[in-house]
Amino acid sequence: MKTSFAAALRGLCLCAAAVAIGGCATGPTDSADALTGPLSIAQQGSFFVGGRDVHSDTLSTVPNYANSGTVTVDQMYVHYQVPTHAKPLSLTLIHGCCLTGKTWETTPDGRMGWDEYFVRHGFPTYVIDQADRGRSAPDIETVNAVKLGKAPVSQLPGLFAASHEAAWAIFRFGPEYPQRFPGEQFPIDAQNGLWQQMVPDWIASLPTPNPTVPALSQLAQKLHGTVLISHSQAGIYPFQTAALSTQGIAGIVAIEPAECPSATADLTPYTKMPILVLFGDYVNLSPRWAPRLKACRAFVDAATQAGGHVQLVMLPDVGIHGNTHMMMQDRNSLQVADWILNWIGTHVGTPTMTAGS
């Protein structure tokens, strides 16, 4: 394992081993070039992974639709694009709390999203909607069972919608709504475009691990080598996926994970692929994020000691300042994307060379 991983690193790029910023021959092409001109797509489309059939007698509380029958739930929607002259390594984008795959598309102020930017850099790119979110159907049986008097109110699912005011602090636009951190990069004038993309979250009513996790495992195996790029609440999913099977996981990029694996867990799966845990700015000013960062540091230290190639990077430490939790939508989002692509180019082998694939 170690040998092939080292070979992959040697075969790739001789940038500084630790944290490379730009200047790497295998890094992305110049941003300006990548942003202009027609986008040439070899293949695009969508499909679902996973799901299970459930028979229910509480499917409907409206006329004309039957109460009893079979529905499919817990599947995961995947939209993908493969550019012409694609690299063999693909990227899988896994959105966070209260959001959908829209997270990675056009920014609230109308700039190119990472979904297209990564395709323009040659990566087959897969964007998911988590199970029970967005185009992946949630299971409404229990809501109907309560309405029909077949179940007590206490069985209603635990749901939440993050408010603008709560999201403001969670996304670190500032200490609290509507104050801003100095130098903060979110395009705040277009905030409505973010509020429009937030959706209710059924996660508290779902099993652990979230059905998204086995679906990600199926997807990774289908792709024969993909970097699982997660955000926020989904931060733990790539790790849980790797714990199920390392097959098909060429690397993990956890962007501001709400949770890292425990430092005292079995860390063996996390020694099988390069891992980046990435945080933005103002983290220690946030009572929500500071302890999460601390826990992730403990994981990274332990996984490194266990022989893993695991890094935790704070963007300000590599000269990129002002990033919020929504760094894929910040005004400098493509600068952050370039940095991540350089990290991938430096640290992740091609699928055939990657340990665990």
Looking at residues 39 to 58 of the shown chain, list those that interact with its own copies (rule: CB under 8 A): 39-42, 44-48, 51, 53, 56
Helix (H, G, I), strand (E, B) or coil at 36: coil
**H/E run at residue 72:** strand 69-83
Position among 87, 135, 180, 297 found at the interface with its own copies (CB under 8 A): 135
Task: Provide the residue type at 240 as one letter.
Answer: Q
Residue with Cβ nearer its own copies (165 or 266): 165
Residue with Cβ nearer its own copies (198 or 341): 198
* Binding status of residue 340 toward its own copies by CB under 8 A: no
- From the list 4-12, 14-22, 23-31, 145-153, the region that binds its own copies by CB under 8 A is 145-153
Q: How far is the CB of 195 from its own copies (least distance, A)?
A: 4
Position among 159, 176, 284, 290 found at the interface with its own copies (CB under 8 A): 159
Q: Please enumerate in sequence order all residues whose Cβ is within 8 A of that of 265, keeping only pairs 6 or more positions apart, or say none.
A: none
d(Cα 216, Cα 218) in Å, to the nearest integer? 5
Q: How far is the CB of 232 from its own copies (least distance, A)?
A: 13
Q: What is the strand order of the sheet 69-83 is part of?
A: 69-83, 125-129, 90-94, 226-231, 249-255, 275-279, 310-314
d(Cα 109, Cα 187) in Å, to the nearest integer? 7
- From the list 5-13, 60-68, 238-246, 340-348, the region that binds its own copies by CB under 8 A is 60-68
Residue with Cβ nearer its own copies (38 or 182): 38
Residue with Cβ nearer its own copies (127 or 348): 127
Position among 162, 255, 283, 315 found at the interface with its own copies (CB under 8 A): 162
Position among 25, 32, 153, 287 found at the interface with its own copies (CB under 8 A): 153
Position among 14, 16, 22, 195 found at the interface with its own copies (CB under 8 A): 195
d(Cα 55, Cα 259) in Å, to the nearest integer? 34
* Best CA proximity match to 142, nearest among 202, 223, 65, 210: 202
Position among 27, 28, 138, 274 found at the interface with its own copies (CB under 8 A): 138
* Best CA proximity match to 104, nearest among 90, 116, 89, 119: 116
Q: Please enumerate in sequence order all residues whose Cβ is within 8 A of that of 175, keeping only pairs 6 or more positions apart, or say none.
A: 169, 181, 285, 286
Q: How far is the CB of 356 from its own copies (least distance, A)?
A: 28
Residue with Cβ nearer its own copies (196 or 305): 196
Residue with Cβ nearer its own copies (18 or 204): 204
Position among 22, 200, 291, 319 found at the interface with its own copies (CB under 8 A): 200
Q: Please enumerate in sequence order all residues whose Cβ is within 8 A of that of 30, keeping only pairs 6 or more positions apart, or say none.
A: none
Position among 4, 31, 61, 350 found at the interface with its own copies (CB under 8 A): 61
Q: Are 77 and 139 in contact (CB under 8 A)?
A: no
* Binding status of residue 105 toward its own copies by CB under 8 A: yes
Helix (H, G, I), strand (E, B) or coil at 317: helix
Phi, psi of 239 (to 5 degrees): -70, -45
- How many residues bind its own copies (CB under 8 A)? The answer is 71
Residue with Cβ nearer its own copies (43 or 284): 43
* Binding status of residue 179 toward its own copies by CB under 8 A: no
What is the DSSP-derived secondary structure letter of residue 85? T
